[in-house]
Structure 1
Amino acid sequence: MSAGEPTNQHLVGLLYRDHRDWLLGWLRKSLYCAERAEDLSQDTFVRLLGRADLPQTREPRALLTTIAKGLLIDHFRRSALERAYLEQLSGLPDAVQPSAEEQTIALQALRDIDRLLGRLSSKARAAFLYNRLDGMGHAEIAERLGVSVSRVRQYLAQGLRQCYIAQYGEPR
């Protein structure tokens, strides 16, 4: 970086100053929850700070929208997952209901798994879950997803790789 080039921190500061209110308004329309919109707005700018290089962009709102949309998708997916878990719990008899602490631990584990599998394509994620949770075989998954059996094997390998990375870190 030459002496005259602004740092990422400086560029993010400018984007924050010039576009934060707009982004917050956009998120509020999508969420109908001011507090969650505020959180996602902050997360958007934190993501920008984490980028190795942040070029000056002609369309800063497009960049912010792209990042915020990804965060929104993650938020909605996690919310749906949590609702499904809590709905399943509501059908259990009181005698086998997990404690509040156990529910919190389980929800965090579900979030972690979702984040882990969220790095996969939708078909790879579906194949992995069909195989691991539903016990479906390769041919059945291939038919359901409309792909070849060899492609299912690739998807499962991708899922297992993500599990390996979560457990042991990137392979060397």
Structure 2
Amino acid sequence: MPAGDTTAQRVHILYADHHGWLYGWLRRKLGNACDAADLAHDTFLRLMISRRAAGQLGDEPRALLTHIAKGLVIDHWRRLDVERAYLDALAQMPDPQIPSPETRLMILEALYRIEAMLRGLPERTRDIFLLAQLDGLTYRQIAERHGIALITVKRHMRTAFAACLALP
């Protein structure tokens, strides 16, 4: 591409040259035309938002597009796992307690953010946080279970709580 091209022009040319290929690749990967179209769109959107990535197109633009798309596919599958687990939990509830569609959507969005936050924590921090929050173990019990000092458990919990507070 000529040196004077703007990022938007480069992405436009890249879109014209590679969208069909990316859509086909995603459709084979996902087995679903609608999701493939959404993720192909999201891939180019991410590329446009990331000026650094758009400047790194180089001689192998498909490698960059594939890298971005793979991350989006993984996120898509994770979201589906969260949604399936939530729907399974809803199926166990008596009808009068099932939330409205609007409330279900808000809950799912919150669950997606929580899952992403948990995934972003170091493994040990995540494990300690879940033992305290879901299993109801005390910090002392967690320290004994992991063979670590109580102050270390508190540090991990502080890190996890800070991540919770940073959720949008």
> Are 1:130 and 1:141, in contact at CA under 8 Å, matched by a contact in 2?
no
> Are 1:131 and 1:141, in contact at CA under 8 Å, matched by a contact in 2?
no
SS in 1 for 2:167: helix
Matched, 1:163 2:167: no
**Structure 1: tracts of 5 or more residues without a match:** 168-172
- Tell me what 1:128 maps to: 129
- Tell me what 1:15 maps to: 14
- Tell me what 2:31 maps to: 32
- Alpha-carbon deviation of 1:162? 2.3
How many Å separate the matches in 2 of 1:140 and 1:44? Answer: 46
Q: Name the amino acid aligned to 2:13.
A: L
**Structure 2: tracts of 5 or more residues without a match:** none
How many Å separate the matches in 1 of 2:145 and 2:49? Answer: 37
1:1-172 alignment to 2 at 5 Å? 4-53=3-52, 54-121=55-122, 124-136=125-137, 137=139, 138-139=142-143, 142=146, 156-166=157-167
Q: Name the amino acid aligned to 2:26.
A: L
Q: Name the amino acid aligned to 2:56.
A: P
154-163 or 76-85: bigger deviation: 154-163
Of structures 1 and 2, the larger Rg is shown by 2
Give the direction of change, closer, same or farther, for the CA distance of 1:64–1:52 in structure 2 (3 Å limit): same
How many Å separate the matches in 1 of 2:102 and 2:125? Answer: 32
How many Å separate the matches in 1 of 2:44 and 2:103? Answer: 33
How many Å separate the matches in 2 of 1:121 and 1:22? Answer: 36
In the comparison of the two structures, how many residue pairs are matched? 161
Q: Name the amino acid aligned to 1:73.
A: I
- Alpha-carbon deviation of 1:142? 4.1
1:119-146 deviations in whole A, cap 9, x for unaligned? 4456654543343233345347748xxx
1:54-83 deviations in whole A, cap 9, x for unaligned? 223222111111111111111111111111
